[in-house]
């Protein structure tokens, strides 16, 4: 190639790429969906699965004919468990790749880091993980559980069925466990539990030496009252924690541990024999027996070509969120953000636990709450579930500075933190 030809080539390429940028052609053929999950770094352990699940859902939808007569196209980026990088990658997805909606984030800190980007560029984020609440944002749909859809029912279960009187609240030291434990502590005290019967303990991310804490729990549990551990321990720290529990002989019959961040995926790395009976609270278990779930599991195993792959609660949240988004886009007839935001509220789609989930005006969804016991095969067996669906409550009623707040994104209120005491929009979290 001569120099001249090279220059022309480069020029042509530049022109082509600018036109593609403007969406003059090529971009119209597909509807793009952004996937913002860490594929490397510490959170890859949980988030990679969600990326795969989204790719599967998009592929399935394309088999059914896509959306609005167009094919869906997944745009995958890797924010590498680096919180500021989440914001950068979100910006790239929205302004460079022009995606219509983004499915992503796991930790609360990553969500907090992308919030301003979604607000500024007016796009949509579906957040699939159980979180601490105290937030409701116009551009975000929270398809995971709020505290009242997971933590509070779990504590109720322990109080009623196991007659627990003494509580250990153990968590990893970051925003989700701290806020959840604050809510739980206020709730327990409101229920008449004495402050000296509550022990709160925080550990760093990836804590691996649990000897002291487990023996403290044992000691705390030998005061003659039934004791339970409520665990908001996150990520990698769980495996050594459960191993230490098993080795020090803490049985579920004596001191049950109820976890909010341990699902089928986390148990896959553990010998669950000694852990039978310890509990987890979620809105979905792989073991839930109904045809929709059976089909989902089958598709998942076929998609990953691995018969041993498990499904879990955040995957179900993406399943719900994705189907809600499809329905809302169909209803609005466009992928335009404002139209879809309006259309989303009130959309109802089947969930995998055998019912329907509905998007509420506070951008949270309705879900059943299930309590499951760990089985020796690494699955959970549901031992209790709420009689009906629970509506996600974004502003906890048990915290003094959020109990007066409500969220309603329908016109005319259109406010994520409306203070019913002062009658004004705005307050904490604005």
Partner 1 sequence: MYRIIQSVLVALLLLAAVPTGLRAEDGLRDLVNALGEAKLSEVDEHIAALAKTGDPKVVPVLEALGEGNLYARKADGQVFLTKESGSNLTLTDPVSGESAGEAPKASLSKVKVNNSVRRAVRTALGSLTLLSPDRNARLKAVQSVLQSPNADALGAIENALAAEKDGEVRAMLEQARATTLIISDRPTEEKKEAVRLLKENGGREALSILSSALGSADETLKPDIEAALASIEQTQALWAAGQNVWYGLSLGSVLLLAAIGLAITFGVMGIINMAHGEMVMLGAYTTFLVQEVLRTSFPALFDWSLAIALPLAFIVTGTVGLAMERGVIRFLYGRPLETLLATWGISLILQQSVRSIFGPTNREVGNPSWMSGAFELGGLTITWNRLWIIVFALAVFAGLLFLLKKTPMGLQMRAVTQNRRMASSMGIRTPWVDALTFALGSGIAGMAGVALSQIDNVSPNLGQGYIIDSFMVVVFGGVGNLWGTLVGAFSLGILNKFLEPYAGAVLGKILVLVLIILFIQKRPRGLFALKGRAVEA
CA-CA distance, 101 to 190, in Å (whole number)? 41
Percent composition of the chain: helix, strand, coil (DSSP 3-state, to 5):
40, 20, 40
Report the residue from 277, 350, 361, 429 that binds partner 1 according to the rule CB under 8 A. Answer: 277
- Contact between 45 and partner 1 per CB under 8 A: yes
Residues 80-109 that bind partner 1 (CB under 8 A): none
- Contact between 173 and partner 1 per CB under 8 A: yes
CA contacts within 13 A on the Cβ side of 106: 25
- Contact between 22 and partner 1 per CB under 8 A: no
Residue 267 Cβ vs partner 1, minimum distance, rounded to whole Å: 9
Question: Which of residues 193 and 343 has its CB atom nearest to partner 1 in the complex?
Answer: 193
Residue 260 Cβ vs partner 1, minimum distance, rounded to whole Å: 18
Q: Which residues contact 3 (CB under 8 A, 6 or more apart)?
A: none
CA-CA distance, 413 to 420, in Å (whole number)? 12
- Contact between 160 and partner 1 per CB under 8 A: no
Question: Which of residues 204 and 426 has its CB atom nearest to partner 1 in the complex?
Answer: 204
Q: Are 378 and 268 in contact (CB under 8 A)?
A: yes
3-state secondary structure 80-120: CCCHHHHHHHHHHHHHHCCCCEEEECCCHHHHHHHHHHHHH
Asked, as a colleague might, if the bond just before 206 is cis with ω within 30 of 0, I would say: no
Q: Which residues contact 302 (CB under 8 A, 6 or more apart)?
A: none
- Contact between 213 and partner 1 per CB under 8 A: yes
Choices 66-74, 146-154, 204-212, 335-343; region in contact with partner 1 by CB under 8 A: 204-212
Q: Total binding residues for partner 1 by CB under 8 A?
A: 59
Counting beta carbons within 10 angstroms of the beta carbon of residue 84, is it exposed (0 to 12), middle (13 to 18) or buried (19 or more)? exposed
Residue 239 Cβ vs partner 1, minimum distance, rounded to whole Å: 4
Query: How far from the centroid of its chain's Cα atoms is residue 400's Cα?
Result: 25
Report the residue from 55, 76, 85, 270 that binds partner 1 according to the rule CB under 8 A. Answer: 270
Report the residue from 62, 95, 202, 428 that binds partner 1 according to the rule CB under 8 A. Answer: 202
Residues 220-259 that bind partner 1 (CB under 8 A): 221-225, 236, 238-240, 243-244, 246-249, 252-254, 256
- Contact between 9 and partner 1 per CB under 8 A: no
The token pair at 371 is: 């309590």
Residue 78 Cβ vs partner 1, minimum distance, rounded to whole Å: 11
Q: Are 318 and 52 in contact (CB under 8 A)?
A: no
Which residues would be at the binding site for partner 1 (CB under 8 A)?
A: 39-42, 44-45, 48-49, 161-162, 173, 201-204, 206-209, 211-213, 215-216, 218-219, 221-225, 236, 238-240, 243-244, 246-249, 252-254, 256, 265-266, 268-271, 274, 276-277, 373, 375-376, 381, 383
């Amino acid at each position: 190639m001569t120099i001249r030809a090279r220059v022309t080539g480069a020029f042509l390429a530049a022109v082509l790429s600018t036109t593609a940028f403007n969406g003059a052609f090529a971009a119209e053929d597909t509807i793009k969906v952004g996937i913002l999950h860490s594929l490397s770094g510490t959170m890859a352990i949980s988030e990679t699965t969600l990326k795969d699940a989204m790719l599967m859902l998009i592929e399935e939808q394309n088999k059914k004919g896509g959306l609005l007569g167009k094919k869906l196209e997944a745009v995958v980026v890797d924010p590498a468990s680096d919180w500021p990088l989440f914001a950068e990658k979100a910006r790239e997805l929205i302004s460079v790749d022009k995606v219509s909606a983004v499915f992503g984030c796991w930790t609360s800190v990553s969500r907090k880091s992308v919030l301003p980007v979604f607000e500024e560029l007016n796009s949509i984020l579906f957040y699939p993980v159980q979180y601490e609440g105290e937030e409701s944002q116009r551009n975000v749909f929270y398809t995971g559980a709020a505290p009242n859809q997971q933590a509070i029912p779990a504590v109720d279960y322990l109080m009623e069925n196991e007659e627990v009187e003494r509580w250990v609240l153990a968590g990893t030291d970051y925003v989700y466990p701290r806020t959840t434990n604050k809510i739980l502590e206020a709730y327990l005290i409101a229920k008449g539990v004495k402050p000296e019967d509550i022990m709160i303990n925080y550990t760093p991310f990836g804590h691996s030496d649990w000897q002291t804490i487990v023996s403290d729990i044992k000691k705390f549990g030998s005061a003659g009252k039934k004791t339970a551990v409520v665990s908001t321990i996150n990520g990698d720290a769980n495996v050594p924690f459960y191993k230490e529990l098993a080795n020090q002989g803490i049985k579920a019959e004596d001191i049950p541990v109820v976890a909010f961040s341990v699902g089928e995926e986390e148990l896959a790395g553990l010998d669950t024999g000694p852990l039978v009976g310890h509990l987890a609270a979620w809105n979905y278990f792989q073991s839930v027996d109904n045809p929709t779930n059976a089909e989902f599991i089958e598709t998942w195993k076929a998609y990953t070509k691995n018969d041993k792959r498990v499904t879990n609660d955040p995957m179900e949240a993406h399943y719900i969120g994705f189907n809600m988004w499809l329905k809302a886009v169909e209803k609005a007839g466009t992928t335009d953000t404002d139209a879809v935001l309006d259309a989303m509220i009130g959309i109802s789609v089947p969930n995998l636990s055998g019912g329907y989930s509905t998007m509420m005006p506070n951008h949270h969804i309705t879900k059943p709450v299930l309590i499951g016991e760990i089985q020796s095969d690494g699955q959970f067996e549901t031992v209790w579930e709420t009689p009906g669906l629970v509506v996600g409550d974004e502003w906890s009623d048990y915290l003094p500075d959020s109990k007066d707040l409500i969220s309603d994104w329908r016109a005319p209120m259109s406010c994520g933190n409306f203070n019913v005491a002062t009658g004004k929009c705005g307050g904490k979290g604005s």
